[in-house]
Chains A and B, each alone.
Chain A
Amino acid sequence: MEFSELIRTGRAQAELLRGPEAPPLRGTLCVTGHHLLLSPGPQATPDLWLLLLRSVDSIEKRVAGDSGTITLRCKDLRVLQLDIEGVEATLDIARSIEALSSLESVITSYPFYHRPKGLRLGDAWHFHPPERYYKRVARETTAWRLSEVNEDFSLCPSYPRAVIVPRAVGDDALARSARFRQGGRFPVLSYHHAPSGTVLLRSSQPLTGPQKRRCAEDEELLRAVLEGAPPGTRGFIVDTRSAQTAKHARLTGGGTEAKAAYPGWKRLHRPLERGRPLQESFVRLVEACGDLEQSMDRWLSRLEGCRWLAHVKEALSTACLAAQGMEREGACILVHGAEGMDSTLLVTSLAQLILDPLSRTMAGFQELVEREWIQAGHPFQLRCAHSAFSHARPKHEAPTFLLFLDCVWQLGRQFPLSLEFGEGLLLALFEHAYASPFGTFLCNSEKERCLCEVRTRTHSLWSVLNQPKEQRKLRNPLYVLNPLAIWPSVEPQSLRLWQGLFLRWIHPSEPSEVAWEKVWQIVTDKEKTEGSQPMVSASEPQP
């Protein structure tokens, strides 16, 4: 397919309004296969304004007289307005954007064409393979092994090739356990907590069905987990659905672990919102944030009504529960919901952030996202197909990953010195998860990424983020290694709306940015003065 077939008009004169702070931009508007360009003409600033069409979430057109207006609402919650000369041109451009922004083919998407200067293809794709995490686990315990039973993705299409499993369990048993779990997602290691010798596992629901089927190998697997841990260790299964929902799931072939079948394991139900209700919560919050004129009462009631912060609280407290189980109770924890690709990952990744100081570093957090979200098979392409503005009927969209980022932000607010990365990294991840010139968040699973040859044909987001020039935006200048677990307060009084994300374009806060700059300055000053001292001592005349 040729992009040119979808482009109805080459160019038009237009003026771009970018919100309250930025000055309007005037020039020639141009639609290309992947971008919307505005070139301000020779006399003005030479900067080209560029928008990735993939990041357009909804488009609205209006015509009046002989000109038209297009309002673009972007997936990163930006709202742009284009005033275009000519009715025909307006309609043509709108139709072109509509067609091009909703293309579903992965291999013709922009990351396959994007070739930034200074980066080489294939760089950074080998930053965070599961094998690397296994090396760390292997240093801490011998009870686990790296299995390549999923080498060809036949056992579980949404798992990576290599997974970490109990050493005592053979690949055949894994294969049977996989058949007993939805989507083949058998229990695998998510995190080994070295201080207590306990582990965090994740899986999908068991397919017990109405007949309450059992699977000996699945039971064996979980038994082996407890046997690999210090003697007497108990296990908890944190089911992210309510007991009621879990029971209902039996009717459709799913279900939950029967108590008698898994001795030593106890089930806890902590219902987390997912799917459409979560997406609607996001949509309603963004709607509420867009209204600058509303009264205090209306704002507070909308903030309450959208329930977003309630979801943040639930996610954080479930993660704390899992973390607490490991650290305080010395218990092994298995987390699953239904498919095990959404709220499950939310809980396991947050629990690690709470417990593991390494995951709070810049590199460690990137590894966590790569391992617990991307490799673990969170279906980014489905979940992030649309953001909060789309009029399209939501199918598989859900802002689970955004909820994760929000929870991380809340942790960062409560422990402002303990995360090596700052809000900048979280914002970047949000943006790139929804629309990106890089391949990192493409597709729904490792299998798909292999089919599309994402690793060899696109650039990795991590390689850009780790360039030295980006660091000031992404890092937390106040970071000090904190070897302890960070237990957040989950009381409503302690949680705040993430203004930096939800109000980023609506209500930019210049003074706090300047203040942040000042913090950086103080920190770099400090580094400088410290650095200059040894130099003085070096110039000390020798007797």
Chain B
Amino acid sequence: MEHIRTTKVEQVKLLDRFSTSNKSLTGTLYLTATHLLFIDSQQKETWILHHHIASVEKLALTTSGCPLVIQCKNFRIVHFIVPRERDCHDIYNSLLQLSKQAKYEDLYAFSYNPKQNDSERLRGWQLIDLAQEYKRMGVPNSNWQLSDANRDYKICETYPRELYVPRIASKPIIVGSSKFRSKGRFPVLSYYHQNKEAAICRCSQPLSGFSARCLEDEHLLQAISKANPANRYMYVVDTRPKLNAMANRAAGKGYENEDNYSNIRFQFVGIENIHVMRSSLQKLLEVNGTKGLSVNDFYSGLESSGWLRHIKAVMDAAIFLAKAIVVENASVLVHCSDGWDRTSQVCSLGSLLLDSYYRTIKGFMVLIEKDWISFGHKFSERCGHLDGDPKEVSPVFTQFLECVWHLTEQFPQAFEFNEAFLLQIHEHIHSCQFGNFLGNCQKEREELKLKEKTYSLWPFLLDDQKKYLNPLYKSQKFAALEPNTVSFNFKFWRNMYHQFDRTLHPRQLVCNTIMNMNEENKQLEKDIKDLESKIKQRKNEQIDGVLTKDLLHTVHPESPALKTSLCFKEQTLLPVTDALRTIEGSSPADNRYSDYADEFSKSEPAMVSVEYGVARMTC
């Protein structure tokens, strides 16, 4: 609280981001310990979590006040005009402090209290059990076993304690191999395909330089390939562009030499590094934040940002993995440089393509816990949770979510969850409201005592499951997904990058409607059953001759006619109010052609009538 100098500023204007006619809402701005809150004159609230703030900018003073532009990590951009410069300055300084914390303990998760007791909290953390997950995959088994080599994080600090390795790989081999791998991240199991007996393994780049070899590492790779009885060779996939991998050789790192390893097939897949991805997203956001963007500028901006090209590259790599396993029965070892960014993307997406379990709500959580959280994707650095090196920030996980979204678009029935689920997860990797994504690896999380001091996100999402269900989901239909990555299958993800720009969205939601219909169907079917059983019961009673006036009275209030009419009422109400609410936002004043309204009124000022308030629609 010591950073907050002003808690309330009145007469603040919130500008519409895309309007060229400087339309605005006036209201009051509040600053709390955790949020920035704007309440407009119609009592509509806009909450912005301090941790979501990516940047705050104070622009040059104008006649109407001092402009303050806040960009958020969830791609919300708000543009306030604060009447007094002093207030603006205070808020600006407070937000700078509040949005960049120096210590984990100051993050929201450590103060967030959803009113649960300790045992509930613990149960929440136990919801996702990775040992259980490996068991589901079918390990340990005759070829794979749990290794205790990293029990105390001695071999690799950024790996979890529990790792699965080929049964024939002895501890000295593991230790030897880990010394030959960047950050000690030696090859371990990420996903085991039970039917094919093939595995996806992951690691970091070898410290091969120009000629170095490591017999233990070679043995370990051989052990992985032997653990797959169906195929003698395995793929080693380096997810970096070849040029980058070669450059690493000069620094004593690099990639596997096919001659030194028996039976490997080496492959580059060319995904760019975190710095390229960061600036690509930057460019994308610059383009689509432009006021009065033309179609041509949008597409040329989309092209020059390279964003969709990068998404396609990640997807292609995942497909390569899935194909190697499904078509060739071959195991795959994946690495990039350190094996926690591109490797996480590719391994998790590959598993998602192969295993329908990961396409369920629970399974998707497990997947994130396994390939991202436990294997040490540096969430805190990549999301900039703390005031740190801005060069470490990169939208690697966002790209993963976008790839999944593209899959949900291509396979509308293959996923149990919908887009809202992905958006919600994206919201929380940055919110620091839950402990799951804090820290950069498991060891760090244990040191922070996150399980005792914070809550897990997953049980909260599961409680809200209804919101995230895909009404068209069909569980059995797709075993392995075979997406088509032809260029025109990749589209700009408007609902992510313009999540808060409501005027750009479709005005009616199909998903909700179908969901409601499904719900109503179920309810109606249940009603029918109830009624039928009641009729049966009463018929029996009639036959028994026990039908009395009293009984009739008690039954009557629930007569089907009454009940049906109630149902119908609800039904007709639901979609209509829904439509009304959503369409309310759909007024010509919200859209850019409204700016021609100025033209309309230029000649005869007496006729000026279009004001945002007036333009609200009612039935």
Q: B57 on the interface (CB 8 Å rule)?
A: no
A483 to B580: give the CA distance in the assembly, Å: 10
Interchain CA distance A321-B477 in the complex, whole Å:
46
A503 at the A/B interface (Cβ < 8 Å)?
yes
Task: List the A residue with the shortest CB-CB distance to B493.
Answer: A493
Contact between chains at B528 and A491 (CB < 8 Å): no
Say whether, besides A329-B609, A503-B488, A303 and B505 are in contact (CB < 8 Å).
Answer: no
CB <8 Å contact, A522 and B583: no
Which residues of B lie under 8 Å from residue A518 when comparing CB positions? 413, 472, 474
Assembly CA distance A327 to B609 (angstroms): 12
Q: Are B487 and A299 touching (Cβ within 8 A)?
A: yes
Given A490-B591, A493-B498, A496-B491, A541 and B486 contact (CB-CB distance below 8 Å):
no
Give every chain B residue within 8 A of A106 (Cβ-Cβ).
none
Q: Which of B509-532 contact A (CB under 8 A)?
A: 509-510, 513-514, 517-518, 520-521, 524-525, 527-528, 531-532
Stretch in B58-66, B116-124, B239-247, B298-306 with 4+ CB within 8 Å of A: B298-306
Choose among B411, B492, B560 the residue that contacts A533 (Cβ–Cβ < 8 A): B560
Contacts of A327 in B (CB 8 A): 588
A325 beta carbon closer than 8 Å to chain B: yes
Instruction: Tell whether, in the assembled complex, residue A299 and residue B488 are in contact, meaning their CB atoms are under 8 Å apart.
Output: yes
B459, CB-defined interface residue at 8 Å: no
Which residues of chain A in 440-496 are interfacial with respect to chain B, using CB atoms and an 8 Å cutoff?
478, 480, 482-496
In this assembly, does B463 line the interface, its C-beta being within 8 Å of a C-beta of chain A?
Answer: no
Contact check, B604 vs A529: say whether CB atoms are below 8 A apart: no
Q: Are B575 and A489 in contact, with the CB atoms below 8 A? A: no
In the assembled complex, B288 has its CB within 8 A of some CB on chain A: yes
- Return the chain A residue nearest B539 by Cβ: A541
Contact B510 A417 (CB under 8 A): yes
Check if A331 sits within 8 Å of B535, measured CB to CB: no
- Tally chain B residues at the interface, Cβ within 8 Å: 93
Stretch of A23-31, A51-59, A244-252, A408-416 lying at the B interface = A408-416
Q: Is B296 an interface residue (CB 8 A)?
A: yes
Task: Please name all residues of chain A whose beta carbon is closer than 8 Å to the beta carbon of B413 when the two chains form the complex.
Answer: 511, 514-515, 518
A105 at the binding interface (Cβ < 8 Å): no
Q: Are B535 and A487 in contact (CB under 8 A)?
A: no
B1 interface residue per 8 A CB criterion: no
Residue in A303, A324, A331, A532 whose CB lies within 8 Å of B588: A324
The answer to whether A507 touches B299 (Cβ under 8 A) is: no
Map CB proximity to B onto A274-296 as digits: 1 under 8 Å, 0 otherwise: 00000000000000010010111
A211 at the interface (CB under 8 A from B): no
Residues 555-596 of chain B: 1 if any A CB is under 8 Å from the residue's CB, otherwise 0?
A: 000011100100110000001100100010011101111101
A526 at the interface (CB under 8 A from B): yes
Q: Shortest Cβ distance from B510 into chain A, in angstroms?
A: 5
* Bound form: Cα–Cα A489–B594 in Å: 11
Partner of B607, one of A234, A478, A482: A234
8 Å CB contacts to B: which residues of A113-170? none
Point out the residues of chain A lying under 8 angstroms from B564, CB to CB: 533-534, 537
Task: Check if A107 is an interface residue, CB within 8 A of chain B.
Answer: no
The CA-CA distance from A198 to B592 in the complex, in Å, is 23
What CA separation (Å) do A488 and B593 show in the bound complex?
A: 10
- Is A344 an interface position by the 8 A CB rule? no
CA distance A512 to B293 in the complex (A): 31
A329 contacts across to B, CB distance below 8 A: 597, 600-601, 607, 609-610
Whether B298 lies near A492 (C-beta < 8 A) is yes
**Closest beta carbon of chain B to A289's beta carbon, Å:** 7
Is A60 an interface residue, CB under 8 A from the partner? no
Q: A295-B487, A515-B412 are in contact. Are A324 and B594 (CB under 8 A)?
A: yes
Are B521 and A292 in contact, CB atoms less than 8 angstroms apart?
no
Map CB proximity to B onto A180-209 as digits: 1 under 8 Å, 0 otherwise: 000000000000000000000000000000
Closest to B572 in A: A480
Known: A329-B609, A519-B514, A522-B521. A307 touches B296 (CB 8 A): yes
Contact B506 A309 (CB under 8 A): no
Q: How far is the CB of A458 from chain B (nearest CB, A)?
A: 38
A487 touches B588 (CB 8 A): yes
Q: How far is the CB of B560 from chain A (nearest CB, A)?
A: 4
Distance in Å from the Cβ of B312 to the closest Cβ of chain A?
Answer: 5
Whether the Cβ atoms of B309 and A296 lie closer than 8 Å is yes
- Chain B residues lying within 8 Å of A241, measured Cβ to Cβ, are none
CB of B484 within 8 A of CB of A507, answer: yes
Contacts of B619 in A (CB 8 A): 483-484
A242 within 8 A of B: no
Interfacial chain B residues near A317, Cβ < 8 Å? 591-593
For residue B548, give the distance in angstroms from its CB to the closest CB of chain A: 10
Chain A CB within 8 A of B295 CB: yes
Task: Find residues 148-169 in chain B having any chain A CB closer than 8 Å to their own CB.
Answer: none
Residue of A nearest to B288 (CB): A493
Q: Does B503 contact A (CB under 8 A)?
A: yes
CA distance A359 to B144 in the complex (A): 65
- Say whether A414 contacts B506, CB under 8 Å: yes
Q: B539 contacts A292, CB within 8 Å?
A: no
Minimal Cβ-Cβ distance residue in A for B296: A304
Contacts of B567 in A (CB 8 A): 533
A313, A489, A512: residue with the most chain B Cβ atoms closer than 10 Å: A489
Give 8 A-B contacts (CB < 8 Å), ordered by A residue: A295-B309, A296-B303, A304-B296, A324-B588, A490-B593, A526-B524, A533-B528, A540-B561
A-to-B contact residues, CB < 8 Å: 234, 236, 266, 268, 289, 292, 294-301, 303-304, 307, 309-310, 312-313, 317, 320-321, 323-325, 327-331, 413-418, 478, 480, 482-497, 499, 503, 507, 509, 511-512, 514-515, 518-519, 522-523, 525-526, 529-530, 532-534, 536-537, 539-541, 543
The 7 closest A-B pairs by CB, nearest first: A304-B299, A492-B298, A299-B487, A300-B303, A515-B412, A310-B295, A529-B524
